[in-house]
Amino acid sequence: MRFRTLSTALAFTLTIGLAGCTTTSGDNKEVAETTKVQIFSDSYGKVTDAGFALPSIPVEKLDKKYHRQIVDYKTSEKPGTIVVNTRERFLYYVLPRGKAVRYGIGVGKQGFAWGGEAYIAWKQAWPTWHPPKEMAERKPDVAKYVEKGMEPGLTNPLGARALYLFNEKGQDTLFRLHGTPEWRSIGTAASSGCIRLMNQDIIDLYDRVKPGRGTKVIVQQ
């Protein structure tokens, strides 16, 4: 299924022309309540997914705080809400009873950062990547993908999964939560505006998210 909506009215603080993740294109998992932090550092091994062989990630080379883990998290937001803290480089998936799954993320470079509220309108496994024309003007080598798109694969900038953010008016914001083959970028400001997770993490998040207006995303700057 492919769906592309161009919008000039964003609910975010970034001009749409700066976005770099335009694309075409589970139910929640129950996690046991715990009083201790659970760190899933052993969840980054090789994975065969839809015929693609994702390599293992040497997470020992990343600060342990960016490894997927269940943490205490006080919030008034209901379970299923996604809260992105761009300053701390964390994404929280809110769980019941004061818990959250926390993922390490990479965020937009200075000048591409954004913030606001949206919802997950839909999600896609192994998405096709269509860079916007503005990116093609900055990077001529990606111009060929504006119309035809880059096919899914291990080098695709969107990685193994993409979650598509729409604003309250039901318009595509052109921003995504997505995977990345560039695991070294986690914890940094390296993307062109979207929020990136390690591929093993975006697969985990994807399986938890149920698209619809009830799945709110809050991006804090």
Domain membership of residue 72 (yes or no) is yes
Whether the CB-CB separation of 219 and 115 falls below 8 Å is answered with yes
Which residues are within 8 A (CB) of 171 and not within 5 positions of it... i.e. 6 or more apart?
5, 7, 9, 10
pLDDT tens-digit profile of 105-125?
Answer: 999 876 566 689 999 999 999
Asked whether residue 10 is assigned to any structural domain, the reply reads no
Instruction: Provide the domain count of the chain.
Output: 1
- Which whole-number Å values give the CA distances from 187 to 27, 111, 128, 217, in the listed order? 28, 17, 25, 19
Query: Which of the following is catalytic: 21, 67, 130, 178?
Result: 178
Q: How would residue 7 be classed by pLDDT, with cut points 50, 70 and 90?
A: very low
Q: Which domain holds residue 36?
A: 16-220
Asked if residue 7 is part of any domain, the answer here is no
Is residue 3, in this structure, part of any structural domain at all? no
130 carries an active-site annotation: no
d(CA 148, CA 52): 21
Catalytic residue among 21, 67, 130, 194: 194
Taking a C-beta distance cutoff of 8 angstroms, is the pair 107, 88 a contact? no
Q: What is the pTM (predicted TM-score) of this model?
A: 0.82
Q: Measuring CA to CA, how many Å separate 64 from each of 68, 69, 74, 144?
A: 9, 10, 21, 38
What tokens were used for 143? 């111009």
21 is catalytic: no
Residue pLDDT, tens place only, 129-176:
887 777 767 777 667 777 777 788 998 999 999 999 999 999 998 889
